[in-house]
A and B are shown apart, each in its own frame.
Chain A
Amino acid sequence: MKQKLKWMLTPLLVFCISFSYAQEKRVSGTVTDQTGMPLPGVTVLIVGTSTGTQTDFDGNYSINASSGEQLRFSYIGQKTVTMTVGASNTMDVQMSEDAEALAEVVVLGYRTSTKEKSSIASQTIASETIENRPNANALQTLSGQVAGLNILASTGQPGAPPAVNIRGQASINGNTEPLYIIDDVPTDAGVFRTLNPNDIASVSVLKDAGATAIYGNRGANGVILIKTRQGNFNEGLKISYAGLLGVSSLQGNDYDLMSSPEQLRLENDRGRGRGAGLSDSEIASAETTDWADYFFSSSLAQNHTVTMTSGADGISQFTSFGYSNIDGILKNSDLQRFNIRNNINGKSKNEKLTYGVSLGINFARSNEPNNIGGSGINRNPILGAYQSVPYISPDDYVDGASLLSPLSFANTPLFLIDVQENLFRREDELQLLGSFNVNYELAKGLNAKVVMSADYRDETRTQAEGPLSFNALLFAQGKDPSGTQNQDVIRQFSYNQTTSLNYNTEFGKNTLNIGAYVEYFKAHFQTFGYTQEGLNPLTFAPGDGSAFIGDNPDNDFYVDSVRANLLDAGLFSYFTSVDYDYDGIYGLSGTLRRDASYRFADSNRWGTFYSLSGRINFHNMAFMDGSVFNQLKLRGSYGTTGNQYITLDGTPGVYFDGPDLTKDLYSTSSGYGAANALVLSQIGNNELTWETTAQANIGLDFEVFSSRLRGSFDVYQRTTTDLFLDTPISAINAQTNLSRNTGELVNRGIEFNVNYDVLRGGEDGFNLTVNAVGGLNEQEIIDLPTEDGIIDIAGAPLGYREGGRVLEYYTYRYAGVNPENGNLQFLTADGEVTENPNVDTDRVWLESNIFPEFQGSFGFNADYKGFFVTTQFNYALGVDRFDFDLAGFQNPNNIGQFGSTRDLLRAWTPENTITDIPALDAANFALGGNSTRYLTSADFLRLRFAQIGYNFPQRLLNGTGLSNLKLFFNGENILTFSEWRGFDPEVNNPTDVTQFRLYPTPKTYSFGIQVGF
């Protein structure tokens, strides 16, 4: 106690003395961040004067100051520290992260820089825009927030990853997902299902080659760096709680579906289905079921996160516990998640040794209906929700057995009710993400560092189709009892280690930072699974084996199948980085990386990737003094990156897909009469290599009018060569495709990111900032391996051609209804109207595809005395999609089996000749399906997010024991403007873009509270 008192009194004492004997002296010290790492570029200013300096690369500074004067240490992204000069000539300062300003820190690969000094194209999102959102998957939340970061939901299943790419698809068959690095752990999009978004401190999106080339053979699709939260040294225990309660519901549609009387009347007119045999009064009194309302319902979501941070002298920690329970709007789809995270940072007394541990333990359990998007009327519940006839009622369902006879397509909703009752499909996933880093200062400016990280996932998938379910009985195939249960256990472990030496030096106005790195990566994959045929209904319980029926000598119905798979993957790389700065004005950086991949061990083992980038800070040049510009920086970069994930099988994941494509292989498998056999399984390609993306980027960062207007513009061109494409080979080879590195593809685009402070009222005034983000991306296929420069996807109305874009629509054009006879009309390739197009030769390239050309967001943030409002409008333009759901509703052949739209009421008749709906018995109706008839724009503008809330001011909290309290109300997907008539213009299956009957994303309203103790 005595000791403490002394330290508290000293400053006062010193202040008094210094009043009398003001003496200037040299004060020096080291500035470090909260993890103990030296902070270069910190501005040190004597308060009330214009005297100042900056820390060097080692975080050291020295300045002439008098005792009693105050030194202000400021650094972007850190809380400003003010200290009074005392008796000591040494003043070391540890700064702590300023969450609000964190966006200003620029994370380079394997190293950091400042916004001022970096020469790369990147954008960082701070925790505020990620936390407290009801999206189970943090990636969903990022949608629209970063220019060039394209995020499209592929399903409404809670937690499911959306499709993500940065600056367009740079690959056709290979991976287009960016590399994700969470606290030094390289991983993939799969982790976000289990990750607690509230643990995220910041997300940095690295876009140009200057930023990504240092990731070499993993950086071709850009890099997303995620930092989780940390504690601060010398800070008392802080506890906070964040809770969110949300309600989700189905977004609306404009299909204008018929009611039961309308549907039955139509059936009656057409002589098909139940309506054919009903009287007028029976038709008029039929009850209508809204099947979308039955299969989808409002669902609840709750998230709770408790965090505790504290720090002592040489150690700080962050601990959080999270729990989420999110029900999907589709019945039987949900996600339950537990998260524990513990991050520790420490340092030695002399601060030469610093270390950090980051550990996340995540467990997620989700029920996930399958066959979404499929056409099985007994499998895909979405089909039941959308296409069922309205006159059947859920009350008509008794059990699976009673649906067997008569088997009728009109009973689709009842089959699917049975699926909901009897299909059990659960995924349990345990994930451990951990990293450990240690840094030691060998000599002044020379640091050695080791970072070790591991990503472990253990997933159990259980699927059981009960013995009394309709599907089990339907496909019993003689089995009595029937029923199937599958279980698969998938384990994946990956380890990454980076060892580096880093040297900083300063001479005159020059600063130089040189790094040398070695990286090792190894991953292992293991699955085991079985399919059990035959489950005894007396003891059946999903996931349990009590009900298993054994094989018998009479038949082979109950022979089970088992499967197991082992795969290994690895990479080894060494690389170097050089960063040079002259006087805060000119900067140059370079990286060079050599990579070896196990995948190309027999062909092109080593690849070399590099980048060069530079910048000029005009605002630091003398001639700019007094201008309106607070910042004006011109950046440029050029470099190459590789993509070794050149093929995607889907099951094992990117690390392991196509592990030995260079080899000719045979396999032992089931042959004729189910006997053992030896068959050719793969023809190797001994020229296999990386897909290489070269990217040029020019960017401008600016801040004007006292930084009221801030933003950046970027222009880029990404050229991918050696695209790994299915090259057709003659069928005499026993396969018709061999994947080779042959094609070339270019993505070019413009991005902007602008913020403007309309009102700056300060803490007690009215603050209003408007922002806009946008990215325009244009795609051009330069070279394809086929003779004619076209890859035709058999049976699909799309393909690839030189000069075109990825998955460009390629089909014959629909030209409306012939007023003469109600038939469909089309255009020939030459543009002439015909009723009988040649489905092969009349196809034309339509210069459109499903991927947006221009997308982003705009919105505003406003606050006044603790009240705040945030909005985010997302937009996507240049999206074209087939609306095959609509095709189903408008299909006259479906009458009697499925529901129809009221559009059919205006079908062509001899009396109604000018219409957009063909005659219900148009002779050439079948040709419509694959034509452009159902190709429509799915451009949209959506109020993606809005939040309104109140942050209690300190004075109201005094005496309550609370340090902060915030209440807020959120809405997600509140309003959508689109020509698209379906439930959700955004959700599509990126691997099959013509797929329909998909699970839409919901509209969600939630209420949240954040409280600190």
Chain B
Amino acid sequence: MKNTKYLLICMALAFFGCDDAIEIDQPGRLDAGSAFQTVSDLNLGLLGLYNEFDTTPEIQFNAVFTDELAVGFDSGGQGIGNGEYGFILNPNSAAPIAAWVNYNDAINVANRILEASENIAPEGDYNDILGQTYALRAFAYFQLISYFSPDYSDDSALATILYDFVPTPDQELPRSTNGEVFALINDDLDRAEDLLTVQSDATFVSQDFVTALRARMAAYRGNYAQAGTFASELLDKYPLANREQFKNMFLDEDNTEIIFKLERTINDDYDGQGSTGSGFAGGWAGANFAFVNATIEGSPYFEIGRSLFNLMEEEDVRYEVNLEPTSIVSPDYTNSDDFQNEDILIVGKYPGNEKPLLNDLKVFRIAEMLFINAESLVDAGDLTGAAELIKELRDARYGTPQPLPSYANSQEAFNDILNERRIELAFEGHRWKDLKRLGATAGQSIQRDPLDCAINDACSLDPTDYRFTMPIPIVELSANPNIQQNPGY
């Protein structure tokens, strides 16, 4: 009978001791509702927001899908498959998924910070944090437009999904028009300008970042009068780098020309190889082109496209920067027995600073502002003014006075500016967008060297092709019945 008692006690314990098995709070969890309590929490959130921004997928896409790159001698299949190097772009492609997802992530995070800020007393860096947040949200929206809007200059064209609140998973919103999204961007930039306390900062959002974004946006929209004003404002403040400074800029040791760059450092989220050969990228910028390091021994799987290389002259410091010194340049590549192994043009723009291939990501440089200014002068009919600006840039890059270009008409001028941008901004994520907005006006299209495209016959693509607008990616199409796909897909 005694045993029975014990058994009954055991059973009773089993009944009563149950709550600890099902009421479990996992250790180390931070509930969303209590994440933001103070201004310094907001600042932590802001550092998370910055971390959402990564231009390596754009650097990859703008290089691979255009005429900046060729498949390297040490390719392990990168660029050979069904990818962007074959001008294959569809809702399943990596690049549109990366752009759509990454920038929407950023907008969501920004909205969360702004929402949380409403319940926090404005003290300390409060205003500056909000200013940076607004500016970054504006930048994310602008990036989305630049990849997904069929026509930057048409305010009624479709842009992206507009939301300035924290959405819920059941929301299936359609795309708004460019006009509506540009309005939000402008509002955000106005607010940022009011709130920001820092004028210039190479690695954080400042007043200059806002101005630079305004300039680029106005240029993309064809609003050249405005664009010129904003660009000039910055050109007055930032000098062009000399040759030494220019070289050091790509070693991340000089910020003379830098208006804004995304900092990359050891042990950050992007310190790693990323997806090599894929539009997802997401690691070291240089890993978009080589596996190990940016030398001939670093397994460079992509190389500089011959058509871009042929535009550069040895006296130009950009030749030195773009072409890594261990490259092998064939003196007569078109007649080479073994073009693949006798003409090895290694991308030198991301040699790495703290580590091989690890470099800061340049977002706004003063050279771009110079081009914007030049474009606006062409647009205003001042071809000579534009030519003088281009000469000014070339003088700085060559280190010796260069002849003044002469433009017979605006198309010629735009074409020359576009070529100059191609050299200057190579592998910085501009080429595809530049062709999209200026290609037709300048009479320029994607033109690969015949030897570079022998592998897949993808030699040229007209800038009016539908693939100069990214498709809305599959991830959104399958989630959102109200989303509108771009033409051609």
Instruction: Using CB atoms and an 8 Å cutoff, list the residues of chain A in contact with chain B.
Output: 271, 276, 353, 375, 377, 404-409, 440, 442, 448, 450, 474-475, 477-478, 497, 499, 501, 518, 520-522, 555-557, 559, 561, 566-572, 596-598, 601, 605, 659-660, 663-680, 683, 727-736, 738, 786-788, 790-792, 794-795, 839-840, 893, 897, 923, 926-927, 929-930
Contacts and interface: CB of A to CB of B under 8 A. Distances in A.
A786 B80 CA distance: 33
Contacts of A271: 337-338
B35 A678 contact: yes
A839 B81 CA distance: 12
Contacts of B456: 923, 926
B3 interface: yes
A367 B161 CA distance: 52
B16 to A, nearest CB: 10
A731 B96 CA distance: 12
Contacts of B274: none
Interface string B44-59: 1101111100000000
B479 A736 contact: yes
Given A679-B51, A736-B101, A787-B481, A665 B31 contact: yes
Contact of A571 (B21, B25, B268): B21
Contact of B21 (A353, A408, A598, A926): A598
A407 B299 contact: yes
Interface stretch (B167-175, B208-216, B419-427, B431-439): B167-175
Nearest to A786: B478
B418 to A, nearest CB: 30
A677 B173 contact: no
A555 B354 contact: yes
A819 B424 CA distance: 48
A954 B24 CA distance: 61
Nearest to A565: B28
A736 B480 CA distance: 10
A406 B44 contact: no
A671 B50 contact: yes
B457 A923 contact: yes
B183 interface: no
A680 B51 CA distance: 12
A522 B292 contact: no
Nearest to A406: B297
Contacts of B358: 477
Given A674-B267, A734-B108, A736-B475, A407 B74 contact: yes
B23 interface: yes
Interface stretch (B85-93, B227-235, B363-371): B85-93
Contacts of A673: 47, 50, 203, 263, 265, 268
Interface in B258-310: 262-263, 265-269, 271, 292, 296-299
A733 B167 contact: yes
B323 to A, nearest CB: 19
Contacts of B108: 680, 732-734
A45 B487 CA distance: 87
B380 interface: no
Given A680-B112, A839-B82, A572 B22 contact: yes
A408 B32 CA distance: 50
Contacts of B372: none
Contact of A729 (B8, B80, B169, B337): B169
Contact of B24 (A569, A666, A727, A926): A569
Nearest to A276: B338
B105 A571 contact: no
Given A664-B33, A678-B35, A794-B92, A353 B3 contact: yes
Contact of A787 (B51, B171, B478): B478
B74 A409 contact: yes
Contact of A567 (B11, B22, B26, B355): B26
B381 interface: no
B405 interface: no
Nearest to A475: B292
B297 A736 contact: no
14 contacts: A276-B338, A407-B74, A477-B358, A570-B21, A596-B18, A670-B269, A671-B50, A671-B269, A672-B263, A676-B44, A680-B109, A734-B105, A734-B108, A839-B88
Nearest to A516: B11
Given A671-B50, A732-B163, A736-B475, 11 more contacts: A522-B20, A556-B354, A568-B24, A568-B26, A663-B31, A666-B30, A672-B49, A674-B268, A678-B44, A839-B88, A926-B80
Contact of A556 (B8, B109, B267): B267
Contacts of B20: 522, 570
A518 B8 CA distance: 12
B228 to A, nearest CB: 32
A729 B479 contact: yes
A791 B358 CA distance: 37
Contacts of B180: none
Question: Interface size class for chain B?
Answer: 35 or more
Contact of B45 (A518, A677, A728): A677
Contacts of B82: 839, 926-927, 929-930
A790 B91 CA distance: 15
Q: Which of A404, A670, A727 has the most CB of B within 10 A?
A: A670
Contacts of B32: 663-666, 680
B92 A405 contact: no
B173 A730 contact: yes
Given A478-B356, A923-B457, A679 B109 contact: yes
Given A893-B77, A926-B80, A728 B22 contact: no
B10 interface: yes
Contacts of A727: 479
Contact of A671 (B23, B48, B483): B48
B21 A572 contact: yes
Contacts of A660: 25-26, 29
B350 interface: no
Contacts of B97: 794
A670 B267 contact: yes
Nearest to A448: B7
Given A671-B44, A676-B47, A598 B24 contact: yes
A477 B24 contact: no
B30 A672 contact: no
A670 B266 CA distance: 11
B81 A929 contact: yes
A78 B340 CA distance: 77
A663 B29 contact: yes
Interface in B66-123: 74, 76-77, 80-82, 86, 88, 90-92, 94, 97, 100-101, 104-105, 107-109, 112
A569 B81 CA distance: 45
A840 B91 contact: yes
A689 to B, nearest CB: 14
B331 interface: no
**Nearest 3 CB-CB pairings of A with B:** A570-B21, A728-B479, A672-B50
B14 interface: yes
B274 to A, nearest CB: 14
Nearest to A568: B24
A669 B479 CA distance: 29
Given A677-B44, A680-B112, A683-B169, A665 B30 contact: yes
Contact of B478 (A497, A671, A677, A792): A792
A532 to B, nearest CB: 14
Contacts of A790: 478
A675 B47 contact: yes
Contact of B480 (A669, A730, A788): A730
B488 interface: no
Contacts of A679: 45, 48, 51, 109
B74 to A, nearest CB: 7
Contacts of A923: 456-457
B316 interface: no
B102 to A, nearest CB: 9
B474 interface: yes
A751 B15 CA distance: 40
Given A409-B76, A518-B14, A736-B101, A668 B44 contact: yes
